Amino acid sequence: MKLYLGFWVGTKDDRTGYWLRWWDESKRMLPWALERVEQRFQQGKLSIINRFLTRKVGEVPAEVRSRIEALSADGLDELSEALLDLTHLEDLINWLDSQIN
């Protein structure tokens, strides 16, 4: 894999500016170590939530799964608590709708 150094304009640790970042040959920015850890936690939360949902309400449609995947880490935490009260797929959809408003 070929790696390249390049500039990224963005915000990190409440500081906005130019940042030197690594990029791969597909022009994708590689995450910092902490970002990678956060992504792994996010994936773990999603995995547990998806398994729990499948057991509790059955198969979850792809469009609902994508809405869940779009939630922030805090949103996933809130959903994991709400799952204790959900019994039907409609309950999940209503909960997701309430997060938009």
List pLDDT tens digits, range 11-45.
988 999 999 999 999 999 999 888 899 889 999 99
Q: Higher pLDDT residue, 101 or 57?
A: 57
Same domain, residue pair 48 and 88: yes
**Torsional sign, CA 66, 70, 72, 73:** positive
Q: Higher pLDDT residue, 100 or 55?
A: 55
Beta-bridge mates of residue 10? 17
CB 50: neighbour CB atoms within 10 A?
A: 14
Share of the chain above pLDDT 90, in %: 73
Mean per-residue pLDDT over the chain, rounded: 92
Helices (H), the chain: 33-57, 62-69, 73-82, 89-100
Same domain, residue pair 44 and 84: yes
With cut-offs at 50, 70 and 90, classify the pLDDT of residue 101: low
Same domain, residue pair 37 and 24: no
Q: Provide the number of structural domains found in the chain.
A: 2
Same domain, residue pair 1 and 44: no
Same domain, residue pair 25 and 60: no
Residue type, 62: A
Measured CA to CA, the distance from residue 87 to residue 78 in angstroms comes to 16
pLDDT over threshold 80, residue 100: no
What local confidence, expressed as pLDDT, does residue 32 receive? 87
- Provide the residue range defining the domain that includes 20: 1-30
Same domain, residue pair 16 and 38: no
Q: Which two tokens stand for residue 44?
A: 């773990």
User: Helix 73-82 crosses helix 89-100 at what angle (to 10 degrees)?
Assistant: 140
Same domain, residue pair 8 and 55: no
Same domain, residue pair 43 and 25: no
Same domain, residue pair 67 and 81: yes
What local confidence, expressed as pLDDT, does residue 12 receive? 87
CA angle at 82 for the pair 81 and 88, rounded to the nearest 5°: 140
What local confidence, expressed as pLDDT, does residue 97 receive? 94
pTM reported for the whole predicted model: 0.69
Same domain, residue pair 7 and 21: yes
Same domain, residue pair 10 and 37: no
